């Protein structure tokens, strides 16, 4: 039996005059799923997230979350939703604990939840410090603690790993995975750290110029990712001409500086090396690889690679 | 739910610096008024003090309780119009300037409760400021040893300051609306300054009783002759402004795009 749909959008759109910030997006997120929402700056990620949370009214289409259509003034659903939109922001004059106390009060959550959230996000030593005096990373932790405080069924997180150090990123990744796997929390997250999304998301949506251009899970990504041979070679233009003429390899892309990717001749690695070296070119790297999410994302959104 | 939102709003107010800055700014008024009265109290003192003495003489203040109250009332009215706007601009605008509006609006709390709670916090704080300057005004006047204090005069002066304060308060939901519409502090403060300028112009041209921002200056005698009793039309204009401001603020929070 398919898992219950927790978030669904139907032809969701937001237009600002002639600008189509979001242009008819349809997606669904199922219970316990981590959905990674990717896009370049200005692709429409944050506008979509704002519409999911009722902060911006759609120009067309609608959002349903936990079976409730999100409308202006429809606030009761947020008792079951935690969120972090764009930058981490809390009341700067209030301490960490006071910020969380306010969240408790307004979500009708018992106060012991504050201690649990402080422990979970490792904020003990900052509990009495005004939020305005925290480092960016700890501000992010405080905002995540606020989002998690009332034990939500759904988390909508815009760049949850922002400003965190590498250990913090791993820690939050593990926490989100635990919430999804053990507690069935549904997570909709945007991120520009593609390796994070690749590690974490069960399904990935790629948004470009306001449209959802691709939706795929990890297995589909693997299936769609192209194999290639990458060489690092001096005089790449000469190398390209040589490979085309001598070996008939035509699908060659230069990525950065002296790096070439060949999508033909995957079984001819030894021949490629011999041809380049025999021609007097300096070969400093050669390996067979597969596109990762970053490569795939760049290809889909019209970037390099 | 209102009491929970109120508790949160009062905590934010207690922890903010502007609370104490506004109290300091307001507490200067009775001292400045007292200084002017002290200058005109002794013949020749104004001449000795140069520019400050000239300024005190130009106010026409007399060195007795009626004169002192008249000047204090003018100072309180002028100060409260501006200070009240700053307080309300801060209470509403900080949510946008601090980037916390998006958190506030994604809570399981009707958005109208935030508008109502913030307006209640504003009137409580403003009421405390008014009470503080009235008490300070009596202390300063007593210290100066002014003649002519009667219970009737004290009650009338207190009532006049409180009434002008209340009328001034009824205008602030429009300031709150400007803060939510403009998403910050500056639009509501700019709006208030513009309205006060318009109030002065319209007050001087005889249309003041129909323009909300001219009514408080008229009560204090700052825009034409002092008005003792407000005309029903003026009260209706102020009442309509209040309810329109509350409705627009709630509408903006509820239906407006919050793209902070």
Exposed, middle or buried: residue A171 (CB in 10 Å: 0-12, 13-18, 19+)? middle
C-beta of residue A214 within 8 angstroms of C-beta of residue A43: no
Interface list for chain A against chain B, based on CB atoms closer than 8 Å: 47, 50, 53-57, 72-73, 75-79, 81, 83, 85-87, 89-94, 98, 101-103, 105-108, 146
CA distance to partner chain A, nearest, from residue B130 (Å): 25
Q: DSSP state, B226?
A: P
What's the pLDDT at A60?
92
Tokens of B209: 């009783």
Contact B100 A73 (CB under 8 A): no
What's the pLDDT at A148?
92
Q: How far apart (Å, rounded) are the C-alpha atoms in residues A10 and A204?
A: 18
Mutate to test the interface with A, among B15, B103, B111, B254 (most CBs of A within 10 A): B103
Q: What is the mean pLDDT of residues B216-224?
A: 70
CB atoms within 10 A of CB B79: 18
Helical axes B65-97 vs B212-219, angle rounded to 10°:
150
CB atoms within 10 A of CB B65: 22
| Among A152, A85, A148, CA closest to A118 | A148
Tokens of B12: 């934010």
Minimum-distance CB partner of B15 among A57, A90, A94: A94
pLDDT band at B180 (very low <50, low <70, confident <90, very high): very high
Lowest mean pLDDT among A294-298, B24-28, B72-76, B110-114: A294-298
- List pLDDT tens digits, range A17-31: 888 989 999 999 999
ipTM of the complex: 0.78
Lowest mean pLDDT among A49-58, B118-127, B142-151: B142-151
C-beta of residue A190 within 8 angstroms of C-beta of residue A157: yes
Structural domains in chain A, sorted by start: 5-222 (3.40.50.300), 225-300 (3.30.70)
- Structural domain spans, chain B: 2-255
Question: Mean of the per-residue pLDDT values for chain A?
Answer: 86
The phi and psi torsions of B42 (rounded to 5 degrees) equal: -105, 120
Minimum-distance CB partner of B108 among A50, A76, A94: A76
Minimum-distance CB partner of A55 among B8, B16, B106: B106
- List pLDDT tens digits, range A247-299: 888 888 887 778 888 887 778 888 888 888 888 888 888 888 777 777 777 77
Lowest mean pLDDT among A12-16, A96-100, B163-167, B201-205: B201-205
**Bridge partners of residue A288, in order along the sequence:** A229
Contact A55 B98 (CB under 8 A): no
Contact B15 A102 (CB under 8 A): no
| Among A82, A104, A86, CA closest to A94 | A104
Look at residue B193 and tell me whether its pLDDT is greater than 50. yes
Find the residue in A nearest to B18 (Cα): A93
Contacting residues for A110 by C-beta, under 8 A, at least 6 apart: A104
| Among A206, A152, A278, CA closest to B108 | A152
Q: Which residues in chain A are contacts of B99 at CB distance < 8 A?
A: 87, 89
Contact A106 B105 (CB under 8 A): no
What's the pLDDT at B118?
95
The phi and psi torsions of A231 (rounded to 5 degrees) equal: -125, 145
Contact A73 B99 (CB under 8 A): no
Go through A77-92 and write b for each residue having 16 or more CB atoms within 10 A of its CB, e for each that does not.
Answer: bbbbbbbbbbebbbbb
Per DSSP, helices labelled H in A81-211 are: 96-107, 112-120, 136-148, 166-183, 194-200
> CB distance from B228 to chain A under 8 Å?
no
Per DSSP, helices labelled H in chain B are: 2-15, 17-41, 45-48, 51-58, 65-97, 101-104, 111-144, 151-169, 172-182, 186-204, 212-219, 232-255
Mutate to test the interface with B, among A85, A106, A114 (most CBs of B within 10 A): A106
Q: What is the mean pLDDT of residues A188-207?
A: 83
With H, G, I as helix, E, B as strand and everything else as coil, classify residue B3: helix
C-beta of residue A254 within 8 angstroms of C-beta of residue A260: yes
- List pLDDT tens digits, range A105-154: 999 999 899 999 999 888 899 989 999 988 888 888 999 999 999 999 99
**Bridge partners of residue A261, in order along the sequence:** A230, A253
> CB distance from B18 to chain A under 8 Å?
no
Look at residue A170 and tell me whether its pLDDT is greater than 90. no
Find the residue in A nearest to B105 (Cα): A55
Contact B4 A107 (CB under 8 A): no
Q: How far apart (Å, rounded) are the C-alpha atoms in residues B182 and B193?
A: 15
Contact A56 B105 (CB under 8 A): no
> CB distance from B255 to chain A under 8 Å?
yes
> CB distance from B151 to chain A under 8 Å?
no
């Amino acid at each position: 039996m398919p898992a219950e749909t927790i978030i669904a959008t139907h032809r969701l759109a937001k237009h600002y005059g002639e600008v189509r910030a979001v242009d008819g997006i349809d997606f669904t997120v199922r219970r316990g799923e981590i959905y990674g929402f990717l896009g370049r700056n200005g692709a429409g990620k944050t506008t979509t997230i704002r519409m999911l949370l009722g902060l911006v009214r759609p120009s067309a289409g609608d959002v349903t979350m936990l079976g409730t259509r999100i409308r202006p003034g429809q606030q009761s659903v947020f008792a079951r939703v935690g969120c972090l939109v764009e930058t981490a922001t809390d009341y700067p004059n209030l301490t960490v604990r006071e910020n969380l106390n306010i969240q408790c009060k307004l979500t009708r959550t018992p106060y012991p939840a504050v201690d649990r959230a402080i422990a979970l996000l490792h904020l003990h030593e900052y509990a009495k410090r005004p939020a305005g005096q925290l480092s960016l990373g700890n501000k992010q932790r405080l905002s995540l603690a606020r989002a998690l405080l009332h034990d939500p069924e759904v988390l909508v997180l815009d760049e949850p790993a922002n400003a965190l150090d590498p250990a913090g990123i791993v820690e939050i990744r593990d926490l989100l995975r635990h919430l999804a796997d053990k507690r069935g929390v549904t997570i909709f997250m945007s991120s520009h750290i593609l390796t994070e999304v690749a590690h974490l998301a069960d399904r990935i949506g790629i948004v470009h110029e306001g449209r959802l251009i691709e939706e795929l899970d990890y297995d589909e990504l693997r299936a769609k990712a192209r194999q290639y041979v990458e060489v690092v070679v001096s005089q790449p233009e000469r190398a390209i001409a040589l490979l085309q003429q001598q070996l008939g390899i035509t699908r060659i892309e230069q990525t950065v500086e002296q790096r070439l990717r060949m999508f033909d001749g995957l079984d001819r690695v030894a021949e490629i090396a011999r041809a380049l070296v025999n021609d007097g070119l300096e070969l400093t790297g050669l390996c067979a690889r597969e596109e990762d999410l970053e490569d795939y994302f760049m290809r889909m959104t019209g970037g390099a690679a | 739910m209102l009491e929970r939102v109120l508790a949160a709003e009062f905590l934010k107010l207690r922890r903010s610096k502007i609370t104490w800055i506004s109290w300091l700014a307001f507490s200067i008024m009775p001292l400045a008024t007292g200084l002017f009265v002290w200058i005109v109290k002794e013949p020749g003192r104004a001449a000795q003090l140069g520019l400050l003495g000239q300024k005190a003489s130009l106010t026409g203040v007399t060195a007795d309780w009626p004169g002192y109250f008249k000047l204090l009332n003018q100072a309180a009215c002028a100060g409260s119009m501006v200070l009240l706007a700053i307080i309300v601009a801060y209470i509403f605008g900080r949510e946008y300037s601090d980037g916390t509006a998006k958190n506030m609006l994604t809570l399981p709390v009707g958005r109208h409760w935030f508008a109502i709670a913030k307006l209640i916090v504003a009137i409580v704080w403003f009421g405390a400021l008014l009470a503080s300057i009235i008490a300070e005004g009596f202390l300063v006047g007593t210290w100066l040893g002014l003649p002519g204090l009667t219970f009737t005069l004290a009650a009338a002066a207190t009532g006049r300051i409180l009434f002008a304060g209340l009328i001034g308060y009824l205008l602030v939901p429009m300031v709150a609306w400007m803060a939510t519409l403009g998403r910050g502090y500056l639009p509501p403060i700019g709006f208030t300054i513009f309205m006060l300028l318009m109030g002065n112009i319209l007050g001087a041209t005889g249309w003041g009783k129909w323009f909300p921002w001219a009514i408080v200056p008229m009560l204090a005698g700052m825009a034409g002759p002092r008005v003792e009793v407000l005309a029903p039309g003026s009260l209706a204009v102020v009442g309509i402004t209040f309810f329109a401001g509350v409705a627009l603020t709630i509408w903006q929070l509820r239906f407006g795009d919050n793209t902070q």
